[in-house]
Chain A
Amino acid sequence: MSENIESKPYISYLQAESKHKGIFKWILSTDHKRIGIMYMMGMMAFLLVGISLGFMMKLEMLTPGKTIMDAQTYNAFFTLHGVIMIFLFIIPGLPAVFGNFMLPLQIGARDVAFPRLNLLSWWLYVIGGLFAIVSLFLQGGPIDTGWTFYVPYSIRTGTNVSLPLFAAFILGFSSILTGLNFVTTVHRLRAPGMTFFKMPLFVWAIYSTAWIQVIATPVVGITIILVIVERAFSLGIFDPALGGDPLLFQHLFWIYSHPAVYIMILPAMGAVSEIIPTFSKRTIFGYKAIAFSSLAIAFIGYFVWAHHMFTTGISEVSRFIFSLLTFLVAIPSGVKVFNWVATLYKGSITPGPPLLFVMMFIFLFSIGGLTGLILGSLATDVHVHDTYFVVAHFHYVMFGGTVMIFFAALHYWLPKMFGRMYNEKVAKWSIALIFVGFNMLYFTMFILGYEGMPRRYWDYLPQFQTLQIISTVGSWILISGILLMIGNLNRGIKRGAKAVANPWGGKTLEWTIPSPPPVHNFDVIPVITHGPYNYGEEEEK
């Protein structure tokens, strides 16, 4: 099938001409594929900045006391590391890159519902990113509040807080507009015959995520504006010295920021549900259960935010209710993991790089999820709250979860996006390095945290040094793996062997068109007559 597709001459989206010249062909393009690629470039740049900051922080932790930077610089570094990784990398993450590129392809559409709005989203992302960067060099110095901007410190510190907060506000708008676009696209532009239960599971995940983006993001927008107003006019909304309530800030912040965790992880889970059937050549086990579990995670994810506040002095009734709700999220998450493993069972498995990343994800995410239950329990949370245990937990969930699947998705869809293959052997070496480095870096943090090492501290007691050294060396191995991976992908894009239309034997619609895709995706809009993963039906024929 793929040879027939490729034998026809066509103009790919990479070669397409427009009325604009040079870089303007890209930055003024409303093509969803080009916008996806532009997000990818921006996010990879920010990822490298975030990694560099993390590398320096771990180097500082090599010895007690000062190693390479003073305490104030360390405060700025962990804040910037968090702000960049959260707001500029993981939250836009898979929806901005692969949602933009793959969503229209997977539902048989020629573009998203509002292409110009899509370009505006990207521009808002760039402007927000620039504001965040500019704030580092202004008088007052880089923000040092931590990425959570907790009051009253964020109201009183003399560092630049208002500008990076405003940057986050702009980035929020980018996210909302992307969400609106995707919800409308899924409802309006599905190919004839593609009912909701014939949509690929990645589309289900992007759809669920888009709803969170639309409903939850305005809350953080309002909260950010309130902090800026409080700093400028001392109104007394959050500042206890003026009669305000600092816990109100935490409520408002986490009403957005906890669902934001699901903005990060749900699309990753969607990508897993694409990769596993393709690499095990089996119809996904429990399609509807996985689809509904995405909605369930999106829904329950709204109502667990105060588990970030168990030790802040919120009411006992509240703590009890939020602990219970937190445990409930584990159910749809567990449904997904069991269904993925059941899909692999008796499958014809090809251990290609995307599947190896997925295997790593299941391992790391399970550790992250199970340690989340320790944090969700009221009694144990008191012991490990604000320690390295929490840092390890969310890196296992966010890095081991979302970022590993971002890498998996890069390896899965890169041949489709650029029409070139990367070196699979090098990719496997990079995966091995990432796995070893990741666990050395973060598993030691579970132990350090359990033994009492607080997070965000520049100094530590001598008894923690051995584990700190193991952790720092782990960061070097991890970064080596990531750099090897990026180098391999970059070389593949530029000089890799030409990719066929369907190198992995996938069944969803993006694999039915040439690689890289034509400008308008489909010559003829396909008519859908079966589900997205019909491996079983083919075997029966």
Chain B
Amino acid sequence: MTNEHSEKEHIIGYGTYVLIWLVLIGLTVTTVSISGINLGNIALAVALLIAALKSAFVINIFMHIKFEDKIFKVFIAVALMTLLSVFVLTAFDVFFR
């Protein structure tokens, strides 16, 4: 095999999982609460920011990416950059139409 993958055990305590879970619930509550406030043009950006933060917690902790090889981080970065580019290109239509 050309890519030797070092299988290391990373044990995360239940306390951390529960803490992250509570943070995710807190962020969801924040998203719902903010949707009731008129933030004008930045409402979308705030909602996306909170969603991105939640994704980061899930990807890093629950999906263990924080402890994985660099190659997996590159994969995720490529996917996220693609998504970001798609958003930006769509915005050229939505905001200039």
- Name A residues whose Cβ lies closer than 8 Å to a Cβ of B: 187-195, 211, 215, 247, 251, 255, 302-303, 306, 313-318, 321-322
Q: Judging by beta carbons under 8 Å apart, are B89 and A321 in contact?
A: yes
- Among residues of A, the one whose C-beta sits closest to the C-beta of B95 is A315
Q: A315-B95, A317-B93 are in contact. List 16 more A-B contacts (CB 8 A).
A: A187-B3, A188-B3, A188-B5, A190-B2, A190-B3, A215-B79, A255-B86, A302-B82, A303-B89, A306-B89, A315-B94, A317-B96, A318-B89, A318-B92, A318-B93, A318-B97
28 chain-A/chain-B pairs, Cβ below 8 angstroms: A187-B71, A188-B5, A189-B1, A190-B3, A192-B1, A192-B2, A193-B2, A247-B93, A251-B90, A255-B90, A302-B82, A302-B85, A303-B85, A303-B86, A306-B89, A306-B93, A314-B93, A315-B92, A315-B95, A315-B96, A316-B96, A317-B92, A317-B93, A317-B96, A318-B89, A318-B92, A318-B96, A321-B92
Say what secondary structure dominates the interface of chain B: helix
- Among residues of B, the one whose C-beta sits closest to the C-beta of A187 is B3
Q: Judging by beta carbons under 8 Å apart, are B3 and A315 in contact?
A: no
Chain A residues near B97 (CB-CB < 8 A): 313-315, 318
- Among residues of A, the one whose C-beta sits closest to the C-beta of B83 is A215
Chain A residues near B94 (CB-CB < 8 A): 315
Q: Judging by beta carbons under 8 Å apart, are B2 and A194 in contact?
A: yes
Chain B window 55-92, contacts with chain A (Cβ cutoff 8 Å), 1 for yes, 0 for no: 00000000000000001000000110010011001101
Q: Name which of A192, A193, A315, A322 has the most chain B CB atoms within 10 A of its CB.
A: A315
Chain A residues near B90 (CB-CB < 8 A): 251, 255
Taken together as a complex, chains A and B put the C-alpha atoms of A191 and B71 apart, in Å, by: 19
Taken together as a complex, chains A and B put the C-alpha atoms of A57 and B1 apart, in Å, by: 52
Assign chain B's interface to a size class: 10 to 19
Taken together as a complex, chains A and B put the C-alpha atoms of A315 and B97 apart, in Å, by: 4
Interface residues of B in 1-40 (CB under 8 A from A): 1-3, 5
Taken together as a complex, chains A and B put the C-alpha atoms of A322 and B79 apart, in Å, by: 20
Chain A residues near B82 (CB-CB < 8 A): 215, 302
Would you give the shortest CB distance from B90 to chain A, in whole angstroms?
6
- Among residues of A, the one whose C-beta sits closest to the C-beta of B97 is A315
Would you give the shortest CB distance from B96 to chain A, in whole angstroms?
4
- Among residues of A, the one whose C-beta sits closest to the C-beta of B5 is A188
Would you give the shortest CB distance from B78 to chain A, in whole angstroms?
8
Taken together as a complex, chains A and B put the C-alpha atoms of A303 and B3 apart, in Å, by: 31
Q: Judging by beta carbons under 8 Å apart, are B85 and A190 in contact?
A: no
- Among residues of A, the one whose C-beta sits closest to the C-beta of B79 is A215
- Among residues of A, the one whose C-beta sits closest to the C-beta of B75 is A183
* 8 closest cross-chain pairs (CB), A and B: A315-B96, A318-B93, A317-B96, A315-B97, A318-B92, A314-B93, A315-B93, A190-B2
Chain A residues near B3 (CB-CB < 8 A): 187-188, 190
- Among residues of A, the one whose C-beta sits closest to the C-beta of B71 is A187
Q: Which of A192, A251, A302 contacts B93 (CB 8 A)?
A: A251
Would you give the shortest CB distance from B97 to chain A, in whole angstroms?
4
Chain A residues near B86 (CB-CB < 8 A): 255, 302-303
Chain A residues near B5 (CB-CB < 8 A): 188
Chain B residues near A303 (CB-CB < 8 A): 85-86, 89
Would you give the shortest CB distance from A103 to chain B, in whole angstroms?
15
- Among residues of A, the one whose C-beta sits closest to the C-beta of B2 is A190
Would you give the shortest CB distance from A41 to chain B, in whole angstroms?
33
Would you give the shortest CB distance from A505 to chain B, in whole angstroms?
27
Taken together as a complex, chains A and B put the C-alpha atoms of A268 and B47 apart, in Å, by: 42
Chain A residues near B1 (CB-CB < 8 A): 188-190, 192
Taken together as a complex, chains A and B put the C-alpha atoms of A258 and B92 apart, in Å, by: 18
Taken together as a complex, chains A and B put the C-alpha atoms of A317 and B97 apart, in Å, by: 8
Chain B residues near A190 (CB-CB < 8 A): 1-3
Taken together as a complex, chains A and B put the C-alpha atoms of A215 and B1 apart, in Å, by: 26
Chain B residues near A302 (CB-CB < 8 A): 82, 85-86
Taken together as a complex, chains A and B put the C-alpha atoms of A532 and B82 apart, in Å, by: 31
Chain A residues near B71 (CB-CB < 8 A): 187
Taken together as a complex, chains A and B put the C-alpha atoms of A459 and B71 apart, in Å, by: 56
Would you give the shortest CB distance from A419 to chain B, in whole angstroms?
30
Chain A residues near B89 (CB-CB < 8 A): 303, 306, 318, 321-322
Taken together as a complex, chains A and B put the C-alpha atoms of A211 and B82 apart, in Å, by: 11
- Among residues of B, the one whose C-beta sits closest to the C-beta of A319 is B93
Taken together as a complex, chains A and B put the C-alpha atoms of A215 and B94 apart, in Å, by: 23
Would you give the shortest CB distance from A283 to chain B, in whole angstroms?
22
Taken together as a complex, chains A and B put the C-alpha atoms of A409 and B7 apart, in Å, by: 39
Chain B residues near A313 (CB-CB < 8 A): 97
Would you give the shortest CB distance from B84 to chain A, in whole angstroms?
11
Taken together as a complex, chains A and B put the C-alpha atoms of A198 and B92 apart, in Å, by: 41
Taken together as a complex, chains A and B put the C-alpha atoms of A251 and B78 apart, in Å, by: 21
Taken together as a complex, chains A and B put the C-alpha atoms of A188 and B7 apart, in Å, by: 13
Taken together as a complex, chains A and B put the C-alpha atoms of A315 and B92 apart, in Å, by: 7
Chain B residues near A194 (CB-CB < 8 A): 2
